[in-house]
Amino acid sequence: MALEGLHHITAITADAPRNVDFYARLLGLRMVKKTVNFDQPDVYHLYYGDEAATPGAILTFFEFPGAARGRHGDGMPYLIEWRVADASSLDFWGARLAGEGVAVQRAGDALTFADPEGLEHALVVADVPDPALVAVTPDIPVEHALQGFAGVRAYAAAPGDSAGLLEALGFTGADADWELAGEQRRGRLRYDAPPPAPGRQGAGSIHHIAWSAADDDELSEYRAIALGAGAHPTGIIDRQYFHSVYFREPSGVLFELASRDVGFAVDEPAGALGERLMLPAQYEARRADLERRLTPISNPRVASRA
């Protein structure tokens, strides 16, 4: 039994159309689900990922139209690291991003940039055996496509406080640099000294990071481990495409444990993921009203076939 690295990362956007354009068109991720926030169904929950919607490459966004720009601070993840194949992929992405007016910085085997709302990303060349999780899009050569998450960086004033819980969950490392590795995938969590200003959630900020569990049995086992290590986990919550347990680790980062056994093809064909608005059963009766309220967005894959 071991958690298989990262499952997904969830952030916040104030502008769903611009978010779709950046992540699905410019970065070439597949939109794998267009649904709503289960706790606030009049706003989107958008999911992007690889071609098969595999845990380990799933980036999601809650849309809150008009939300103020967030600011990452102590106790918050602030940067997402993606794997790419090699230095030539960094060259490709440097040119592609700069060609669309995105500021990039190159330092050795990493290329950093931010999305239109300030959410930071780094493309890194990582020598790991994990299978590459890529999406297929016509204008991005498959050899240069993003290959799934490498890790996350977070701000923490006292990262040592998190060591006991991280070790109990199966992380290896020390101080501010940790890795969670299973049989198939791994993910890094690194802590950096926080800026002086306090953080606040908002557009461009990361809400939580999710680690990958097999099923409800494993969720129950790790929930008990987290509880024994001093965390205050929720019960298991049904999120339609996975089941989840949530708790904060001692540095303040909101962790989720999410299962891999349900999947994103549970309510629509795998070949048509992300092409229509999918609603949980409790909101299906409100479909007409929600479709009228939600901001129109265009999935690049659907638009290219029109």
Reported as half-sphere exposure (CB side, CA atoms, 13 A), residue 41 has a value of: 17
Distance from C-alpha of 175 to C-alpha of 134, rounded to nearest angstrom: 32
pLDDT of residue 112: 98
What is the band of 33 on the pLDDT scale with cuts at 50, 70, 90? Answer: very high
Q: Where are the beta strands (DSSP E) in 104-259?
A: 105-107, 110-114, 120-125, 149-155, 172-174, 177-181, 186-192, 206-213, 237-238, 243-248, 254-259
Burial of 184 (0-12, 13-18, 19+ CB in 10 A): middle
Mean pLDDT of 279-290: 94
The contacts of residue 83 (CB under 8 Å, 6+ apart) are 123, 124, 125, 126, 128, 130, 132, 146, 147, 148, 149, 150
| CA end-to-end span of the chain | 46
Distance from C-alpha of 134 to C-alpha of 54, rounded to nearest angstrom: 9
What are the structure tokens assigned to 248, written together?
A: 């904060």
Place of tokens 């009049």: 42
What is the band of 52 on the pLDDT scale with cuts at 50, 70, 90? Answer: very high
pLDDT of residue 304: 64
Mean pLDDT of 217-227: 98
Judge whether residue 173 has pLDDT over 80: yes
Mean pLDDT of 159-187: 97
Q: Using one digit for the tens of pLDDT, what is the confidence trace for 80-93? A: 999 999 999 999 99
Q: Using one digit for the tens of pLDDT, what is the confidence trace for 68-78? A: 999 999 999 99
Mean pLDDT of the chain: 96
Mean pLDDT of 235-243: 96
pLDDT of residue 303: 64
Question: Which CATH topology does 6-301 take?
Answer: 2,3-Dihydroxybiphenyl 1,2-Dioxygenase; domain 1 (3.10.180)
Judge whether residue 205 has pLDDT over 80: yes
Judge whether residue 153 has pLDDT over 90: yes
Sheet of 172-174, strand order = 105-107, 110-114, 120-125, 77-84, 149-155, 186-192, 177-181, 172-174
Residue spans per domain, the chain: 6-301
| Model confidence pTM above 0.75 | yes
Judge whether residue 36 has pLDDT over 70: yes
The contacts of residue 203 (CB under 8 Å, 6+ apart) are 12, 13, 14, 15, 64, 67, 68, 69, 70, 117, 118
